[in-house]
């Protein structure tokens, strides 16, 4: 059997940091390689989080930096080779060249289990590598398996699985075909609700018949994992461990036309990330004006802008800032989430689907 590597990418966001803490606490015997792919354009709070994590983990977090012979940062180097063509949701060269390609180089052709911090209260898959030697596992969810594994598992002949013959309910669901009226997620949830560990053991036994990395392991400690972690658990893990929550998640009060609200940044990633909401650009302008002006320097003309319909020079006008804040407060009211502790984070959870595991988890 080939040696299977276990890796965990630290994006600089709260969820991947909490996952590193969780894995160290719950699975200290797994030899996990922690890595981070640096664009050179993260917020200071992200670099601080990585340092704090290294202390807690007692391990170095491997820095993957593209173009490390260049005198420019990885982002600026790639941008220069593209003639100043800024990335956008449609042309997202930054994640691919600076993060995903670096990750795939890092693991090479070794069989790898990659742990991903998608939470139990999220409905998204995150980045799944197309390389067959990389298998994603989601320890924060009741369902630890990736979608590609589940599809293959549910297409496998149940008669070939080692199901206990007295587990009639389990067998009945397993033998019920997936259809328009009984979709895969229903089948999955029904099985998980009966017995998570039994389900995991069956998937693991199916994987032994495949070319997935876990076929190279005779044992996998996460088969016993029944946890389902939600956003409040993530903050608890970060605070309780002493690693702390990155400063940009702290809510800051603002007032606009007599109405009070709070804002903060909702995600990790580059300070100029084009996935930011308008209110986050306002946060950057008011809380880190030096970074806002640096982001402006990239907008050389009307063709090269971070937001499709608005240059930062327009966004920073006082009347526009008031408008953005008012719209943001109105949106909060509509969503009726005023009792939440982490407003921006919850607002943007759905919108983070546009992002991906490499930058924001």
Q: What stretches of the chain adopt beta strand conformation (E)?
A: 5-9, 32-37, 62-64, 112-115, 134-137, 252-256, 259-263
Q: Does 39 bind ligand SF4 (CB under 6 A)?
A: yes
Report H helices in 156-228: 168-175, 184-194, 196-207
- Cα 328 off chain centre by: 24
Contacts for 151 with CB less than 8 Å, ≥ 6 apart:
184
Question: Taking the complex as a whole, how short is the minimal distance between the CB of residue 351 and ligand SF4, in angstroms?
Answer: 13
Which of 23, 45, 61, 98 is in the footprint of ligand SF4 by CB under 6 A? 98
Choosing from 19, 149, 269, 312, the residue that interacts with ligand SF4 (CB under 6 A) is: 269
Task: Give me 282's structure tokens.
Answer: 């306002």
* Cα–Cα dist 102/268, whole Å: 18
Q: Tokens representing 14?
A: 């709260």
Task: Tell me how many residues contact ligand SF4 (CB under 6 A).
Answer: 11
Q: Does 245 bind ligand SF4 (CB under 6 A)?
A: no
Q: Does 117 bind ligand SF4 (CB under 6 A)?
A: no
Distance of CA 219 to the CA centre of its chain: 26
Choice from 49, 57, 222, 273 touching ligand SF4 (CB under 6 A): 273
**The tokens of 64 are what?**
């993957």
The whole-angstrom separation of Cα 50 and Cα 232 is: 21
Under rule CB under 6 A, residue 359 binds ligand SF4: yes
37 binds ligand SF4 (CB under 6 A): no
Name the β-bridge partners of 8: 34, 115
Residue nearest to ligand SF4 according to CB distances in the complex:
269
Q: Is 49 in the site for ligand SF4 (CB under 6 A)?
A: no
Taking CA 41 as the corner, what is the angle to CA 120 and CA 16, rounded to the nearest 5 degrees?
Answer: 20
Give yes or no for residue 102 binding ligand SF4 (CB under 6 A). Answer: no
From CA 272, how far away is CA 295, in angstroms rounded?
Answer: 6
| Cβ 174 to ligand SF4 shortest distance, Å | 40
Segment interacting with ligand SF4 (CB under 6 A) among 92-100, 115-123, 227-235, 328-336: 92-100
Q: Which residue has the tokens 């983070």?
A: 352
CB 275 within 8 A of CB 89: yes
Tokens for 20?
């590193």
Give the Cα-Cα-Cα angle 316, 317, 322 (nearest 5 degrees). 95
The residue range among 93-101, 164-172, 174-182, 252-260 that interacts with ligand SF4, by the rule CB under 6 A, is: 93-101
Of 127 and 140, which CB lies nearer to ligand SF4 in the complex structure?
127
Q: Position of tokens 């180089």?
A: 105
CB of residue 317 vs ligand SF4: minimum separation in angstroms?
A: 24
Instruction: Report the nearest approach of ligand SF4 to the CB of residue 89 (Å).
Output: 8
Tokens of 23: 């894995």
Stretch binding ligand SF4 (CB under 6 A), from 89-97, 145-153, 317-325, 344-352:
89-97
Q: Which stretch binds ligand SF4 (CB under 6 A): 94-102, 121-129, 209-217, 311-319?
A: 94-102
- Cβ closer to ligand SF4: 122 or 280? 280
Separation between Cα atoms, residue 306 and residue 278, nearest integer Å: 11
Contact call for residue 270 and ligand SF4 (CB under 6 A): yes
Task: Report the site for ligand SF4 in 161-220 (rule: CB under 6 A).
Answer: none
7 binds ligand SF4 (CB under 6 A): no
Note whether 275 binds ligand SF4 by CB under 6 A: yes
Stretch that binds ligand SF4, among 54-62, 87-95, 109-117, 281-289 (CB under 6 A): 87-95
Query: Which CB sits closer to ligand SF4, 39 or 241?
Result: 39
Which region, judged by CB under 6 A, interacts with ligand SF4, from 66-74, 88-96, 133-141, 279-287? 88-96
Q: Alpha-carbon torsion 71, 75, 76, 78, what sign?
A: positive
**12 part of the interface to ligand SF4, by CB under 6 A:** no
Binding footprint of ligand SF4 on the chain (CB under 6 A): 39, 87, 92, 94-95, 98, 269-270, 273, 275, 359
């Amino acid at each position: 059997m080939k040696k299977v590597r276990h890796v965990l990418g630290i994006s600089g966001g709260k969820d991947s940091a909490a996952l590193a803490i969780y894995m160290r606490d719950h699975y200290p015997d797994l030899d996990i390689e922690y890595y981070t792919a640096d664009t050179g354009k993260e917020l200071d709070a992200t670099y601080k989080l990585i340092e704090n994590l290294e202390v807690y983990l007692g391990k170095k977090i491997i820095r993957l930096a593209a173009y490390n012979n260049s005198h420019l940062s990885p982002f600026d180097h790639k941008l220069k080779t593209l003639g100043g063509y800024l990335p956008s949701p449609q042309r997202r060269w930054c994640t691919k060249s600076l993060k995903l390609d670096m990750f795939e180089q890092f693991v090479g052709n070794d069989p790898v289990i990659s742990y991903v911090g998608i939470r139990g209260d999220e409905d998204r898959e995150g980045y799944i590598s197309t390389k067959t030697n990389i298998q994603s596992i989601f320890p924060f969810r009741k369902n630890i398996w990736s979608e590609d594994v589940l599809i293959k598992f549910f297409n496998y002949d149940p008669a070939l699985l080692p199901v206990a013959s007295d587990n009639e309910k389990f067998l009945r669901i397993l033998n019920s075909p997936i259809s328009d009226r009984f979709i895969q997620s229903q089948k999955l949830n029904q099985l998980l609700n009966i017995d998570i560990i039994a389900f995991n053991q069956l998937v693991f036994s199916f994987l032994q018949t495949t070319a997935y990395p876990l076929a190279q392991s005779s044992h996998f400690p996460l088969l016993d994992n029944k946890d389902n972690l939600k956003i409040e658990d993530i903050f608890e893990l970060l605070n309780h461990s002493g690693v702390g929550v990155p400063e940009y998640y702290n809510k800051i009060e603002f007032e606009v036309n007599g109405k009070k609200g709070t804002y903060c940044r909702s995600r990790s990633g580059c300070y100029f990330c084009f996935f930011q909401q308008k209110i986050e650009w306002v946060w950057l302008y008011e809380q880190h004006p030096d970074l806002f002006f640096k982001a402006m320097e990239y907008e050389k003309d009307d063709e090269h802008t971070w937001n499709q319909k608005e240059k930062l020079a327009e966004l920073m006008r006082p009347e526009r800032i008031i408008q953005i804040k008012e719209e943001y407060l109105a949106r909060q009211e509509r969503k009726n989430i005023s009792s939440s502790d982490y407003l921006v984070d919850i607002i943007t959870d759905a919108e983070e689907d546009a992002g991906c595991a490499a930058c924001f988890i």
